[in-house]
């Protein structure tokens, strides 16, 4: 289900956003949009985003809390969800065109892990992709764990898709965000050595995600601001007795931009305090500002 306009339809009344101001995009694995709708209001108050990309909404389209989201100022919404699992949504103050049918059904599962729109940004259209890559279970062996096999197959398909887009002229004015469930760099995890055999940081996964990024000439927007030798996390386990004190995090949430937008990157925010909110998600919101 989508609530954005379709190709050929007149755009809705434009949001009042100064043309010179960068576009503010947030990605967040909310871990149930209905359960954590009040926290979405806290996010909006803290970050003032123009666009929010959600993952793991765990909500069928017909039960998505449209009224609550619209009350926060997001008149334009695209949702793709299912009961109890997965699900993605894009919430926007700016009008957009949906891309229904324009992108693959990953692994032929129809499991609501990707959504794409074209945002009517102040500087011109921006193609926006919201991904939720499979977590992969606990055993990093595709022969013993079908969830891990699904994860690797998903990333392989996304890599081939990126390569096809590149061969056709490349991504232009594009942003890819989401919970990619892989921490690719040494300092994207609290202990590189201890997590080499842990799903999300195994060599086969990190190499696969690096290949996906390279296939589309994507630019890592967060590492644009934070050097690769500095720790950067967006997720802290529910299992930690004191997540802040132990700080055993991982960077599972990502923002990539096409080369033509890399020079427009202005700032980033990892809203770490959100991990301490009541009934928090184990992921925290991530914002980038990009001039379009």
- Could you tell me which residues are annotated as the binding site? 29, 56, 179, 181, 282-283
Q: Which of 95, 96, 28 is nearest to 282 (CA)?
A: 28
Q: DSSP class of residue 220?
A: E
Q: Of 61, 120, 130, 132, which one is the catalytic site residue?
A: 132
Are 40 and 57 within 8 A, CB to CB?
no
Token pair listed for 129:
């992709």
Total residues found in the chain within this entry: 292
For residue 44, what is the enclosing H or E element? helix 37-47
Residue 53's SS3 state is strand
Least Cα distance to 113 among 89, 149, 84, 142 occurs for 89
Q: 233 catalytic, yes or no?
A: no
Known catalytic residue at 283: yes
**Contacts for 36 with CB less than 8 Å, ≥ 6 apart:** 30, 279, 281
Task: Decide: helix, strand or coil at residue 54.
Answer: strand
Instruction: Mark the binding-site residues for Mg(2+), compressed into ranges.
Output: 29, 56, 179, 181, 282-283
Q: Is 87 within 8 Å of 57 (Cβ atoms)? A: yes
Beta-strand relationship, 124-132 and 174-179: parallel
Tell me which of 111, 130, 179, 253 is the catalytic residue: 179
3-state SS class at 212: helix
Q: In the structure, how many helices (H) and strands (E) does the chain have?
A: 7, 14
Catalytic residues: 132, 179, 283
């Amino acid at each position: 289900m989508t609530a954005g306009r379709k190709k050929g339809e007149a755009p809705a009344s434009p949001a009042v956003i100064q043309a010179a101001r960068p576009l503010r995009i947030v990605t967040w694995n909310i871990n149930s949009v209905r359960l954590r709708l009040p926290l979405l209001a806290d996010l909006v108050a803290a970050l003032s985003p123009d666009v929010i990309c959600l993952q793991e909404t765990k909500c069928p389209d017909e039960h998505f809390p449209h009224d609550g989201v619209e009350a926060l100022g997001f008149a334009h919404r695209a949702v793709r969800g299912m009961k109890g699992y997965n699900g993605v949504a894009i919430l926007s103050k700016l009008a957009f065109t949906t891309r229904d049918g324009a992108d693959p059904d990953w692994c032929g599962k129809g499991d609501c892990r990707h959504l794409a729109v074209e945002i009517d940004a102040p500087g011109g259209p921006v193609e926006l992709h919201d991904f939720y890559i499979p977590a992969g279970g606990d055993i990093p062996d595709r022969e013993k764990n079908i969830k891990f096999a699904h994860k690797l197959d998903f990333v392989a398909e996304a890599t081939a898709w990126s390569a096809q887009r590149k061969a056709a002229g490349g991504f232009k004015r594009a942003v890819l965000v989401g919970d990619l469930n892989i921490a690719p760099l040494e300092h994207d995890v609290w202990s590189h050595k201890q997590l080499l055999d842990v799903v999300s940081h195994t060599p086969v996964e990190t190499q696969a995600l690096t290949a996906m990024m390279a296939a589309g000439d994507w630019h890592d927007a967060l590492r644009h601001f934070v050097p690769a030798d500095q720790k950067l996390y967006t997720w802290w386990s529910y299992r930690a007795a004191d997540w802040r004190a132990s700080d055993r995090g991982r960077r599972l949430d990502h923002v990539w931009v096409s080369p033509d937008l890399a020079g427009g990157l202005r700032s980033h925010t990892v809203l770490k305090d959100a991990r301490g909110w009541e009934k928090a998600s184990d992921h925290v919101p991530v914002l980038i500002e990009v001039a379009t």
